[in-house]
Structures are given as structure tokens and as C-alpha cells.
Chains A and B, each alone.
Chain A
Amino acid sequence: ETGVTQTPRHLVMGMTNKKSLKCEQHLGHNAMYWYKQSAKKPLELMFVYNFKEQTENNSVPSRFSPECPNSSHLFLHLHTLQPEDSALYLCASSPMGGLDTQYFGPGTRLTVL
């Protein structure tokens, strides 16, 4: 397995469910990111982790809870979501959090019913 992988690729959940998105990078990077991509809106940065420490939280509602147990794995825990949270959630990684290029995973398509 190479690059940045995300599971599941598709997820449908009810508003009362609890689910988690998983991201794994096999690039030896130290920074990881969560983005939200909604139709007709710019890609929105949600969270940034550098060396497992959260360095950016872009005013994301608490129903989204990130977890970074190590530099290779990033999770996004979801609970009591709203239909407007339906979107493509993209994970990315970079060597460091500075000038380096970000490498993106294929995303998880989330639908909240």
C-alpha cells in the first residue's frame, strides 16, 4: 500500500449514529490534515496535526472529533451529524507543516440522512 489511503470510501449514516473515518499515510510524513469538500464550495481545511499534535482547528463543530495516535494515522470521529455535513472528506499529509506539498487521499463520501 502506498500514498495516502482512506476508509471507508463511502459512508451513509443517520443523524444519531457514531462513525469514524480513517486515514493512513505510507509516506513517512509528519503532518496530516482533514479537509471538507462540499459541492460548489471551496475546499475547507478542518484540522492540522504536526507530529501528532493538533496545530489547527478551523472552527469545526464539536460533532467532529479528530484523533492522531501517531504520525501515520488520522481519524475523524463523527457523532450526531447534520444533513449539511454530507460531503467528501479528504485527508492529506506532508513531510512537515511548512512549505511541503500536501498529498491527498481519495476521500470518503459521507451522506448523512
Chain B
Amino acid sequence: AQSVTQLGSHVSVSEGALVLLRCNYSSSVPPYLFWYVQYPNQGLQLLLKYTSAATLVKGINGFEAEFKKSETSFHLTKPSAHMSDAAEYFCAVSPTGTASKLTFGTGTRLQVTL
């Protein structure tokens, strides 16, 4: 069985500041990990995914995430927040080889202020 915990349902940062969204996972097998973003009134869009290759994964819109097995974490970061980054972000995990069976976290809403 697998699960995902996203710490902080709401995160607020100033424009230009570092964005850090936390995700910890639990999985009985080596996991595949994903970050999705959901803008208002839209579906989810894949930001990036870890599939057991490089532990530092770069995604779209300047986001990246690092897989840390020892910490069972897959935190999402962006060096400089932009107003357009305001959205809800979801971390998800799936057992290796079965990306169709995603288990999602509860989401973190990112607010970007001037």
C-alpha cells in the first residue's frame, strides 16, 4: 500500500521568494512520484515525475523536486515565485510500473503575494 502526506494545506510566499512544497510518501515497493498542478477551474496538469532515474527531477515552469529515499520525501521547489504560480499542487505516488494507480495527497494551495 502507498500513501502521500502533504504538509501544509496552504502556503503563502512573496513574489520572487523561494517556493517549497512538502511531500512525504509511504510505499511498500520502490515508488514512482508525481507533482501535479491545478489552476482554478481547470484539471490537473503534470509538473514533473520521478521514475527511478535521476533523483533531481526538473519540470515545467521552473519547478524541480528531489527524491530522497532516506527521508521518504519528494519536496517541490522553485527558486523564485511568480504570481502565475498561484494554484493547488498535488503530490502523488504509485507503485513502480503502474502509474495508472495513483494515490494523491490532499493538496497544497500556493498563494503568491506582491
Contact = CB atoms under 8 A, between A and B. Distances in A.
A60 interface: no
A6 B43 CA distance: 10
Interface residues of A, number: 25
A82 interface: no
A105 B43 contact: yes
Contacts of A40: 9, 106
Contacts, number: 62
Given A43-B90, A90-B43, A90-B44, A102 B102 contact: yes
The majority secondary structure among interface residues of chain B is: loop
Contacts of B102: 43, 45, 102
Contact of B100 (A4, A6, A94, A103): A94
A48 B98 CA distance: 12
A42 B99 contact: no
Contacts of B90: 43
A102 B32 CA distance: 13
Contact of A99 (B46, B51, B105, B107): B51
Contacts of B100: 31, 33, 48, 56, 94, 97-98, 100, 102
Interface of B: 4, 9, 32, 36, 41-46, 49, 51, 90, 92, 97-107
9 contacts: A42-B105, A45-B101, A45-B102, A90-B43, A94-B100, A100-B100, A101-B49, A102-B100, A104-B44
Given A33-B100, A98-B97, A98-B98, 14 more contacts: A6-B43, A90-B43, A92-B44, A97-B98, A98-B100, A99-B51, A99-B99, A100-B99, A100-B100, A101-B49, A101-B99, A104-B36, A105-B43, A107-B42
